[in-house]
């Protein structure tokens, strides 16, 4: 491992932040980000850093302040606001206490904040405060965990560093650990850092560069020793040459089934499950472990995480198995029973009364599939997968060195059920469509974009599908920019091609793990009298509007049944189904055919908890948010304007004037109707909702 310190970048950081926040804090941010950029040191909020500096209050009085990483900030992107300042002397005075509860510690930390609106300081704030050094860095470096998480790891680290770096046995984070580290530091003033066994590494120094580069020095020495010992050894088995197609085929079948098997039952009868979102990675190391699953099962099932901090994102154990539905179901059943035993034994030993979290696994390593991780959203799933990748590598390396030894399960339990760790996950109420995955066809169009925005606004993860090209790319980019790239995926699909539809649905599954909501918003139009209708135009419109709908229903039906979590299908039909217009036979007939397919699907899918409903819209000329015009009206509009002698504004006024309510129909209003069915607010299936301002011809009788 090499230092990333760069004098020009350090000077730039001072130039950017020094005037407003001071040089100390500017360099603290700079080296914190250097640490965060190296995933072998920290990942997803792990680790913390601090600096002791001076703040001046409104009366011009100087005070010693500790600026330490705040909760919710990640080192890779931290800014000065993510390092809240606290009264340093008041924190140091707390060292005189014999003991302090975690809850009292949190209260004391908040009392000493320089700015009351700051985020909660790190739970290891007192450890930083009690150390005498100006700069302190803390990481969960992989090398320390790989080398240290072995029966002989503690003794060998002591021998490796020879007193230059301290090594302390595991101690639970909080007030007792802070005092123990401070006592060690005072007794060993010449040390450059400290390794906490099965936890992480601390380094310190009088300036930002020294503290940071001491961290690199410690970790590099561990990496060099690991490399020396593993030279010539094969850590992972060889993997057959799997093709990309075989990966996708097996994974797209496994993921929806896994979602069902690990979904928590809900008390909501309309939405009986709380599914999770998946992140799939066919990495070389995961495939190797999956290939050797029989030998690797015990390593990843019976031993805990590299560091207990990981347990809240990945749980302690992973499922390692071959890609067989029955086998995976059995393994998950075994896992849940094992988790229940672990919980009850640990809670009895610790004599605590806490509510058991769901007992389902979060990480799978499957033969021929690779790594699959789950979370409440894609961001959480990615975090779990990132941690799992490091864990797969670390455990196999430790096993190759000698044998991997994790922390005692009771100590892992302490961390998993520690209230201060649970607070990191947040308890905010979830949005109506959270944990749901929606596939929207025709997503690049005016109504399609409005639908995607509404579903994303409701918390869903959305797969945008349309013909490959600039329109789909722009729509996807718009959604990603507004709602975050982790919740948006783009899958090109040609509904006239059976193979393309199959592949599109498969890719949608691989993006997030399954499909819960299908919005069929696709449609093309053609203006012609029956007398002048060309058969090729008729067939082209029916291929998209009717046959495309059939193909989507067919793939969705198979997925919904295999997934077993229910689902919602909404077909954006048309006012032309109940009230067709002249010279619009191809569109009207094809949409009517699509509606009949939907009605039959409602009959067939009800037993699987899947609702199928329709929306009949009329007169939507554009997506009012993006300004994109409706593709249908781009085709229909010119003829309608010519027939009535109107310009575009006049045509809009005409359609507004012909409905009973005399209102324009907006794309966002159609999207809201679709969201009504997607959110399953009522137990309704086989129904249609009109969004047309009111047309007597479309009244249902």
Active site residues: 587
Give the torsion sign (CA, 371, 372, 376, 379). Answer: positive
183: number of Cβ within 10 Å: 12
Q: Which residues contact 76 (CB under 8 A, 6 or more apart)?
A: 33, 36, 37
Q: What distance in Å separates the CA atoms of residue 242 and residue 625, rounded to the nearest whole number?
A: 45
Could you list the beta-strand ranges (E) of 325-483. 363-366, 370-375, 437-441, 461-466
CA dihedral 233, 386, 296, 288 (to 10 degrees): -60
- Do 542 and 492 form a contact (C-beta atoms < 8 A)? no
Q: Which residues contact 439 (CB under 8 A, 6 or more apart)?
A: 462, 463, 465, 491, 505, 508, 515, 517, 518, 519, 556
* Beta strand 488-492 pairing with 461-466: parallel
Q: Phi/psi at 114 (nearest 5 deg)?
A: -65, -40
Query: What sections of 351-442 are H helices per DSSP?
Result: 378-401, 409-416, 419-425
- Do 414 and 343 form a contact (C-beta atoms < 8 A)? no
Give the SS3 label for residue 110. helix
Smallest CA-to-CA distance from 372 within 257, 224, 482 is with: 257
Q: What distance in Å separates the CA atoms of residue 113 and residue 438, rounded to the nearest whole number?
A: 43
59: number of Cβ within 10 Å: 5
Q: What distance in Å separates the CA atoms of residue 555 and residue 505, rounded to the nearest whole number?
A: 7
Q: What distance in Å separates the CA atoms of residue 443 and residue 452, rounded to the nearest whole number?
A: 7
Smallest CA-to-CA distance from 206 within 192, 187, 220 is with: 192
Query: What sections of 131-239 are H helices per DSSP?
Result: 142-148, 153-161, 175-187, 208-230
**How many angstroms separate the first and last alpha carbons of the chain?**
74
CA 684 → CA 435, 680, 687, 692, distances in Å?
Answer: 21, 8, 7, 21
Query: Tokens 């393994």 belong to which residue?
Result: 331
Paired strand residues for 464 = 440, 490
Q: Which residues contact 612 (CB under 8 A, 6 or more apart)?
A: 569, 570, 571, 598, 599, 601, 602, 605, 685, 686
Buried b (16+ CB within 10 A) or exposed e, 563-572: bbbbbbbbbb
As a residue count, the chain comes to 701
- Do 91 and 70 form a contact (C-beta atoms < 8 A)? no
- Do 610 and 683 form a contact (C-beta atoms < 8 A)? no
- Do 133 and 204 form a contact (C-beta atoms < 8 A)? yes
């Amino acid at each position: 491992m090499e230092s990333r310190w760069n004098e020009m970048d350090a000077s730039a950081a001072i130039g950017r932040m020094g005037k407003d926040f001071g040089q100390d804090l500017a360099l603290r941010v700079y080296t914190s980000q250097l640490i965060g950029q190296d995933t072998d040191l920290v990942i997803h909020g792990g680790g913390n850093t601090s600096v002791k500096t001076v703040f001046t209050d409104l009366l011009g009085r100087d005070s010693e302040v500790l600026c330490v990483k705040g909760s919710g900030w990640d080192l890779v992107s931290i800014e000065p606001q993510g390092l809240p300042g606290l009264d340093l002397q008041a924190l140091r005075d707390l060292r005189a206490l014999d003991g302090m509860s975690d809850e009292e510690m949190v209260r004391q930390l908040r009392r000493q904040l320089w700015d009351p609106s700051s985020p909660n300081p790190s739970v290891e704030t007192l450890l930083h405060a009690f150390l005498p050094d100006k700069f302190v860095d803390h990481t969960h470096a992989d090398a320390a965990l790989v080398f240290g998480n072995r029966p002989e790891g503690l003794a060998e680290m002591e021998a490796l560093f020879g007193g230059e770096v301290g090594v302390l046995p595991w101690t639970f984070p909080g007030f007792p650990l802070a005092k123990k580290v401070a006592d060690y530091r005072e007794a060993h003033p010449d040390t450059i850092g400290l390794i906490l066994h099965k936890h992480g590494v601390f380094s310190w120094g009088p300036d930002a560069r020294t503290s940071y580069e001491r961290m690199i020095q410690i970790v590099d020495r561990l990496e060099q020793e690991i490399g020396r010992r593993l030279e010539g050894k094969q850590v992972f088995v060889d993997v057959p040459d799997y093709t990309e197609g075989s990966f996708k085929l097996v994974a797209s079948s496994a993921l929806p089934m896994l979602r069902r098997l690990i979904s928590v039952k809900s008390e909501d009868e309309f939405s009986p499950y709380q599914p999770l979102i998946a992140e799939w990675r066919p990495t070389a190391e995961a495939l190797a472990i999956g290939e050797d699953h029989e030998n690797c099962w015990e390593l990843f099932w019976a031993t805990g995480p590299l560091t207990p901090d990981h347990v809240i994102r990945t749980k302690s154990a992973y499922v390692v198995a071959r890609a067989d539905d029955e086998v995976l179901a059995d393994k998950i059943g075994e896992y849940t029973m094992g988790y229940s035993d672990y919980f009850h034994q640990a809670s009895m030993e610790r004599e605590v009364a806490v509510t058991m979290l769901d007992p389902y696994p979060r990480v799978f390593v499957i033969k021929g599939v690779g790594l699959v991780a789950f979370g409440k959203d894609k961001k959480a799933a990615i975090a779990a997968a990132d941690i799992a990748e490091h864990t797969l590598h670390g455990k196999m390396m430790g096993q190759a060195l000698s044998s991997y030894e994790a922390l005692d399960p009771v100590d892992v339990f302490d961390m998993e059920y520690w209230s201060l760790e649970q607070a990191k996950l947040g308890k905010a109420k979830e949005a109506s469509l959270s944990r749901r995955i929606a596939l929207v066809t025709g997503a690049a169009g005016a109504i399609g974009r409005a639908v995607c925005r509404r579903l994303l606004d409701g918390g869903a993860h959305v797969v945008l599908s349309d013909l490959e090209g600039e329109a789909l790319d722009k729509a996807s980019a718009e959604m990603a920019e507004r709602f975050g790239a982790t919740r948006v995926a783009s899958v090109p699909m040609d509904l006239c091609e059976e193979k393309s539809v199959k592949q599109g649905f498969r890719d949608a599954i691989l993006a997030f793990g399954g499909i819960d909501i299908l919005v069929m918003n696709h449609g093309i139009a053609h203006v012609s009298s029956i007398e002048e209708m060309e058969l090729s135009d008729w067939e082209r419109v029916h291929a998209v509007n009717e046959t495309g709908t059939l193909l989507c229903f067919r793939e969705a039906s198979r997925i919904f049944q295999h997934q077993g979590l229910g689902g919602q299908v909404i077909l954006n039909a048309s006012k032309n189904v109940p009230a067709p217009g002249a010279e619009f036979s191809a569109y009207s007939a094809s949409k009517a055919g699509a509606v009949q397919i939907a009605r039959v699907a409602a009959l067939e899918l009800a037993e699987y908890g899947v609702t199928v409903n329709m929306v009949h819209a009329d007169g939507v000329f554009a997506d009012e948010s993006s300004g994109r015009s409706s593709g249908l009206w781009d085709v229909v509009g010119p003829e309608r304007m010519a027939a009535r002698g109107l310009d575009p504004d006049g045509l809009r006024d005409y359609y507004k004037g012909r409905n009973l309510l005399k209102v324009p129909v907006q794309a966002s209003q159609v999207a809201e109707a679709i969201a009504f069915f997607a959110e399953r607010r009522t137990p309704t299936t086989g129904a249609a909702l009109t969004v047309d301002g009111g047309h007597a011809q479309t009244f249902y009788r």
